[in-house]
Amino acid sequence: MDRYVVFGNPIAHSKSPVLHRLFAEQTGHSMQYETLLAPLEDFAGCALSFFKQGHGANVTVPFKEDAYRLATRLSPRAQRAGAVNTLSKQPDGSLLGDNTDGAGLVRDLTVNAGFSLKGKRILILGAGGAVRGALEPILAEGPTSVTIANRTVEKAEQLAELFSDLGPVAASGFDWLHEPVDLIINATSASLAGELPPIASSLIEPGQTLCYDMMYGKEPTPFCVWATEHGAGHVMDGLGMLAEQAAEAFYLWRGVRPDTAPALAELRRLLAL
């Protein structure tokens, strides 16, 4: 049976095994998918050992940049992102590194939520790896503007410069922003600490703005609660992004794209327990 894993540290909490089991059942594929706790100081050794038999792997925090360095070759989107979340063993034994995070986010917004990014004013909060992975697919959708806001403005400026050839992208501090936008994506880790990014509620156009938190949990995240309280037109957490990036990885490995809707519904049910 073909073996797949998700590498991380910590990793026991991962929902990936559930998703890939559901995808395999749905598509009639026989595969084994497990979590693998990689040592912080030796991701490469752990991964190379797995790939002696293994077929593919997802990679999560804190190893996406290690996976980028380990890959024999990179997809264009992984190259842009500077990070790899999906490794595939090729017929010659080499490792192809890809990044499905941004594609998962865009698909959740455009397909699951039916929200077109074309011509939209988009604000992204944070300037870490998650943003770097999301910028290329977002800019490919043709938004009017993308603003990256971060506590350390220099970090946002570096990202904006790096992706400026792909579309209208600018940098900002959190407190410089007051005009309403069409989409706010929270890519900071504030929700994990039960906190909010320090942004003005005037950024939300009541009944119109879509607010999206890349984080998710049993309860709505602080950002989602804030967005609802200030009249956002639509509020989403990142569970759909998780399902869509997993489906993209499954497609890369198995050549078939699973339907995420039933898997996402089951994930929501399990999360609520």
Peptide bond into 62 cis (omega under 30): yes
Q: Is 94 annotated as belonging to a binding site?
A: no
CA dist., res. 161 & res. 35, Å (int): 36
Q: pLDDT tens digits, residue range 44-71? A: 999 999 999 999 999 999 999 999 999 9
Question: Same CATH fold, 102-239 and 2-98?
Answer: yes
Question: Where do we find the tokens 């957490």?
Answer: 237
Task: List Cβ neighbours of 39 (8 Å cut-off, separation of 6 or more).
Answer: 9, 45, 46
Q: Is 14 annotated as belonging to a binding site?
A: yes
* Domain map (residue ranges) of the chain: 2-98, 102-239
pLDDT of amino acid 159:
96
Q: Is 68 annotated as belonging to a binding site?
A: no
Pairing relation of β-strands 95-98 and 73-74? parallel
Asked whether the beta carbons of 210 and 185 are under 8 A apart, the reply is no
Q: What kind and span of H or E run contains 36?
A: strand 31-37
Q: Is 238 annotated as belonging to a binding site?
A: yes
Q: pLDDT tens digits, residue range 146-172? A: 999 999 999 999 999 999 999 999 999
Q: Is 127 annotated as belonging to a binding site?
A: yes
Catalytic residues: 64
* pLDDT over threshold 90, residue 189: no
0.75 exceeded by pTM: yes
CATH architecture of 2-98: 3-Layer(aba) Sandwich (3.40)
Quick one: tokens of 149?
């806001």
Q: pLDDT tens digits, residue range 1-31? A: 999 999 999 999 999 999 999 999 999 999 9
The CATH fold assigned to 102-239 is Rossmann fold (3.40.50)
Pairing relation of β-strands 86-89 and 31-37? unpaired
Full DSSP string of 104-116:
HHHHIIIIIS---
